[in-house]
Structure 1
Amino acid sequence: MPEPTIQVRINQALYKLPQGTSLADAIAQVEISPPFAAAVNLQFVPRAQYPEHLLQNGDQIELISPITGG
């Protein structure tokens, strides 16, 4: 029997992940170097909450790196 999965978008790319995946687990799927901020469904998630923030099917995740310059 296949493991239940969810589909989420990370920076507009579709990912199929196991049900019960945390935000920290999802971030590990993409190549992004700190510093960055994360938002799920347009809501900022503090870095300390990444491991316990469980994702739901259809969540939209944005990982935003700061841009320097002017």
Structure 2
Amino acid sequence: MITVKVNGEAVDCPVSSTVADLLRLTEVDPLGVAIAVNQQVLPRAQWHQHELVGDEELQLFKAIAGG
């Protein structure tokens, strides 16, 4: 297992997990979500390819409609 931080909270996930795997593990609906890894926005096209490394920091942003 490795530990990453998601919005400041520690999350354990299996070794070789991708960002897409993490979303499934944490039951986050990917619709309308943007993700930054170590303060760099990660394009959605790379979510299935980016393997998580221990101690990475992820920020998940959910789009909210309103005005």
Identify the TM-score tier after normalising by the shorter chain.
Answer: 0.7 to 0.9
Q: Which runs of 4+ in 1 moved over 6 A?
A: none
CA distance in 1, matches of 2:32, 2:63: 7
What is the one-letter code of the residue matched to 1:44?
V
**Tell me, which stretches of 5 or more residues in structure 2 are unaligned?**
none
**Aligned partner of residue 28 in structure 1, secondary structure:** helix
Percent of aligned positions that are identical: 33
Aligned to 1:58: 55
For residues 3-59 of structure 1, the C-alpha deviation after alignment (integer angstroms, 9 at most, x for no partner) is xx2100112221111111101001112233320101111110111110000010001
From the CA coordinates, give the structure whose radius of gyration is larger.
1
RMSD: 1.3
Aligned to 1:30: 26
CA distance in 2, matches of 1:31, 1:10: 13
Q: TM-score, normalised by structure 1?
A: 0.82
**Tell me, which stretches of 5 or more residues in structure 1 are unaligned?**
none
CA distance in 1, matches of 2:40, 2:66: 26
**Aligned partner of residue 63 in structure 1, secondary structure:** strand
